[in-house]
Chains A and B, each alone.
Chain A
């Protein structure tokens, strides 16, 4: 049992894991899955209850104890030291590492593991240069290198393409066959059904049931998880396209390593339209989003917003054009975790009346606005003064959306808006984006979730190695075709915009 200020996150949980088993832990955000695992991994201490490993009572006081007991964890938000290399991150905290040159030995081991499980990681690459998907693989290697007998994966597939997910599943099955156990935390029903032997469903911090994957179905799981029947399809009205909002012409930009990441991208995006950009992480999507938002310099080409040249403007000038940005890394970029929810909600418009006058912030108005947005966007929090870091993943994203959408943006750049979120929050966020589209906003949607791209977009662009392989109208697009294009196996011979 684990209590947080004002909340009981885990309420008398009974959970049992067998050797060689893949056990899915299914539940919505805030259901207590991550908390439970953090207790197992020694990051939090239980307020009540006991843990047994291999039949022995275990007191896990720190991640060190957990690692010693053979537990390995791949967190939802990666725990990596960004300026360091892959091997250095693996070596960090290893008790066996030598005092001098601790990394050399590790590099060999990392290469071996990477080879053995097909993880394709360069042990000398620096973490900040890697895509989210690659960083996750580093986390898996880290756990395996420490000889983990139980591997805990927290929402591992949210960053992966269908192909990568398949590879991950194969890797996991191989690991399980070696007699190791895997706890697979997810909110995706299909995945839980596909990969696991048994599934434990959590809701509001309590165990609803533990079932065999072969003896249940998606519908039943969804009902247990959400507590009501769930709609799997979204209502989408036909597009009412207006003026061109965003025009990108022959854009080029470098990535953090100084190598070309965008190599000549052109497209237009109009009012009332959603352009989905599909692609595997690390093919230039992040750089494209950053250039449009003024966070990265274009080396060549132009960006026009509402017909005005906004190439290489400051982020502030882009914000002033009413461009909303839902960032890929919510916590690193979109949130000031130690500040209150109210203060986080004015991050973009604190300069404007009525939130400030001349030099001073108008705290009364800021608080009022916070109250309004908290109820409008259903942000679940004890108060507007609560520090943002105490919110659950889904509520953090609600906070960011509340901030970004409340100013009636003309353009919304949404990067992985539902990454890591549960069914309820995902449904809500997608509905919000569709509503913005109906109200005439232009939406640029970057996502690795093909289902999301297919169900929201009017047109779909596939990005591979810094270029758009093609732009297809959503009605005629096939998942298989897009999948092949994402992998670079298929190119449209005539790279023209579909309409």
Chain B
């Protein structure tokens, strides 16, 4: 008896298959990364236990995991909307930073003395608009000059990142920061309140906003005219044109939503994370949330509600990564490998969504 793979086209892909494919891709990724641990002379099972305990095993770990899931959720949901319309936004990182800049501007220069009830909402609005505007530029370039948005959104990240650098080293450099590349600390009216749980980093208004927006986005995609246009455009751009839908309009709106949500994530980071409360150099604000969110969105199969779960998973991964760095002395780059390998398997699992693969046993000869 020997096994043979039997591959057949799937006519219908059920929810269950989608879920199983996601679970399977994570399992395979964990197996592959086990080899990396093994190479470092670390027992993979021990490493995974450490990661799990570090991120989900205690109230401290869990609170950090949730805190890190907030920006991932916001960016991931936004990206899912864009990806659904086949608009490849790789610029969530830059859009997040632009949101952070806008929040800082409001907190330090526009409303330095206003009460929280004025400052906080203005920060969120300004953050959304500024991220949305940053997303709008590539979509206009695409519509008018046919510039590929993968390239332009990616490059806009560097512009945003250097803009942050310019501000924290130059124009907005803090007077009381001893020469560090930080702005001054926000007045306390511009701090997003946090829950007194664990490490106290869960800025719950942002969390609630993120959850609400995930649900709203789901409704947007499934129940609204715009959502219908997004789905048709993503499934068959020719049919969308035939039906009189404007690709430019759809692409612009999804980039506005996508950029806006990333912008909100930026607001949450500078004003909500108690270790910030100021703008600092770009890597200090985000360890690449905008990029990790791409994986979060795909792992959630672009379903806004599933992305809530996948963002928690990746929040845990980031926290667990910190934990093994400390306890096992592994380089932080291992987490980068983690992300890459998971994305690899998640995209690879697309095959399982389109084809049914079964193993059949047959007699020799």
Contacts and interface: CB of A to CB of B under 8 A. Distances in A.
A335 interface: yes
B242 A334 contact: yes
B12 A359 contact: no
A348 B228 CA distance: 12
A62 B241 CA distance: 35
A325 B4 CA distance: 48
Contact of A295 (B4, B8, B225, B241): B241
Given A44-B9, A319-B244, A327-B242, A337 B225 contact: no
A348 B12 contact: no
Nearest to B244: A316
A232 interface: no
A336 B225 contact: no
Contacts of A350: 225, 228
A338 B235 contact: yes
A489 interface: no
Interface residues of A, number: 40
Contacts of B242: 293, 295, 315, 325, 327, 333-334, 347
Interface string B1-29: 00010111101100000000000000000
A120 interface: no
Interface string A278-317: 0000000000000001110000000000000000001111
B121 to A, nearest CB: 23
A380 B287 CA distance: 54
Contacts of B4: 61
Interface in B201-255: 223-228, 231-232, 235-236, 238-239, 241-246
A67 to B, nearest CB: 16
Contacts of A484: none
A332 B228 CA distance: 18
Interface SS of A by simple majority? loop
B224 A347 contact: no
Contacts of B228: 343, 350, 361
A418 B241 CA distance: 23
Given A295-B241, A315-B242, A62 B11 contact: no
A360 interface: yes
A348 B224 contact: no
Contacts of B227: 361
A334 B232 CA distance: 11
A45 interface: yes
A339 B11 contact: no
A336 B228 CA distance: 11
9 contacts: A61-B6, A61-B7, A332-B236, A332-B239, A333-B239, A336-B232, A338-B235, A347-B242, A356-B225
Interface of B: 4, 6-9, 11-12, 223-228, 231-232, 235-236, 238-239, 241-246
Given A336-B231, A350-B228, 17 more contacts: A44-B8, A315-B241, A315-B242, A320-B244, A325-B242, A333-B239, A334-B239, A334-B242, A336-B232, A336-B239, A338-B235, A347-B242, A350-B225, A356-B225, A359-B225, A363-B223, A390-B12
Interface of A: 4-5, 43-45, 61-62, 293-295, 314-320, 325, 327, 332-339, 343, 347-348, 350-351, 356, 359-361, 363, 387, 389-390
The 3 nearest A-B residue pairs measured at CB: A316-B244, A315-B244, A347-B243
